[in-house]
Amino acid sequence: MMKKNVLISGGSGFIGSHLTALLLQNGFSVSILSRSEKQNKKDVFYYKWDVKSQFIEEESVVRADYIIHLAGENIGEKRWTAKRKEAIIDSREQSTLLLYSAIKKNNKKLDAFISASAIGYYGAINGQEICTEIDAPANDFLGYACQKWEDSISFIENLHIRTVKIRTGLVLGKNDGFLEKLVPLFKYRLGSALGSGQQYMPWIHVDDLCAIYLQAMTNTEMSGPYNAAINDNTTNEKFSKILAGLFGYKIWLPNVPAFALQLALGEMSKIVLTGRRVSSDKIEQTGFEFNHTKLVEALKDCLPK
């Protein structure tokens, strides 16, 4: 019996590489869309695509039973100029439309199409309210970008394919993700809280995030958006104190002033100066159980030994 195949866009990245390992462990074969030529490995196949020129090796879609769509420009990589904002949105919309066109052209009946999204859907806010999947998108760039991202998935939903959107919090993983930038500062006792420090930081361990993607594939009752983050009211100050403690010290530096971050990052500073509380009830009601629910233990697992 042939193994079910999962096509992943963004499969070579931080989350994609962890997800690939989990899928292989669970008896799937994996196809990865790549901009460059790569050598196939056991149960891992590479196909070329280029979103800008709207090229894709269509065999990748024909072969797939599931598609997991992770690709998109890193929202926190560069200052949000008008051109950068356009690239962030285009990378998500155009990549989805490229997949859609290949699915439609080949009349491909997928078991499910699962897309990344982000809790940025609820916007750059600071407040006590808990955001749930029924809330409207925020009226700011983060909310708009996530809304456009999710709206592009509706084309695939219109092909009568089950679609799931995973609204992801801050992902914790070893030697990658946003921790990769923080660890050197905290290791050398230069870490501190940002701005007020009271902004919420909904987080998730990369292993739990990958497990959510696997469940979204195999649980045929799942459709629509799901928040993927631990609801433990972690603030930036709490996060910073725990991380410093794991390196054996108490924070001695004052908080980084908001104005300094605004000068350095421009509008992108909203990513680190604002936060939101989100509910994980909907994903847990599917029977999903988080393995990493304590921040200190999750961080321990992710720090270099």
pLDDT of residue 259: 77
d(CA 288, CA 212): 7
- What residue spans define the domains of the chain? 5-171+203-229+277-290
Distances (CA, A) of 203 to 152, 175, 213, 278: 25, 16, 16, 10
Q: Look up the CATH number of domain 5-171+203-229+277-290.
A: 3.40.50.720
Distances (CA, A) of 167 to 27, 120, 230, 282: 26, 8, 12, 12
Q: Is 289 exposed, middle or buried (0-12, 13-18, 19+ CB in 10 A)?
A: exposed
Maximum CA pair distance of the chain? Answer: 61
Of 272, 271, 281, nearest in space to 135 by CA: 281
Helix (H, G, I), strand (E, B) or coil at 166: strand
d(CA 145, CA 166): 15
> For residues 26, 46, 69 and 269, what is the CA-based torsion angle, rounded to 10 degrees?
110
SS3 content of the chain, % helix, strand, coil (to 5): 40, 20, 40
pTM here is 0.95
Distances (CA, A) of 216 to 66, 116, 180: 10, 11, 28
pLDDT of residue 284: 97
pLDDT of residue 226: 98
Q: What is the pLDDT of residues 124-161, one digit of tens each?
A: 777 788 999 999 998 888 899 999 999 999 999 999 99
Is a pLDDT exceeding 80 seen at residue 21?
Answer: yes
Q: What is the pLDDT of residues 271-296, one digit of tens each?
A: 887 888 999 999 999 999 999 999 99
Q: What is the pLDDT of residues 180-203, one digit of tens each?
A: 888 999 999 999 999 999 999 999
